[in-house]
Structure 1
Amino acid sequence: MTHLHNLSTQAIKIRQAFGFTQIDVAGMANVSAKSVVYFEQAKATVETQSVSKILSVLGIESPLITNPALRGETVRQTRKQMGMTLEDVAGMTHTSSKYLSAVENGKENLRIGQLIALLNALGINPLASNSELTQ
């Protein structure tokens, strides 16, 4: 989970630079303090919706995490470019085709660890910026 660790480390540095506590960020993001703590510990079980809110409060751009529609389209396009079916990717990522379909259709609330593992398996940088995704 290197990407998750890198993202959480970046968030901690920014939070501390602003002088915010974890509780401050939780309040501003309208998430539980537990979600902030778990995200900063790079726990894979935090939901993407909570991570998205935390990143937004801290001004961190990570569109594949914060934008479910863009995430879904990117996964679908990449999978098709690779000539893979939902079932192929499901087998490769130890998920179900139903889960992958939900991702591709912009389901908002996924576990951050599962999402990053899926993106990594498809060779997609989970931390890509908008400009990197449009190149």
Structure 2
Amino acid sequence: MKFGEIDPGSWPELQPYLDTCLLPMSGLTGEESPWEAADKAARTGEWLSPLEQAFRGRTVTMPAYHYEAGGKEHASRVNRIIDAWKKQGFRYVVVVSGQPLELADELNADLFIRPNLDDEEPEAQAITKALADLWRKPRD
């Protein structure tokens, strides 16, 4: 589900089933032309779509985080968002991007879905398997 599809009245009954939060990260720097920014956002959508389709009743796609400034301050800001969502009851937070993310090692996400190379195409089966494998892992 997308965040805008959930209303306050239905959240209490849905929350036990929606334990995974998806955070799309476009990885924009601000130096892109309008069409380059659109391409990056669309590419993130291509990597996100298999998860949204396969796991609609278990995931919530939150608003996209578009601009990546880099550095520890930026990672800290994203980690505060991740931590807040976990305090709200999400068991897992998954970062999804259509670009390789340099700051991935700095983030407290449970899983990263992203290409390793700029021109790598998303494989729906591998993407959905990665999330299903996360759910199967014993939690600490």
So what's the TM-score if we normalise by structure 1?
0.27
So what's the TM-score if we normalise by structure 2?
0.27
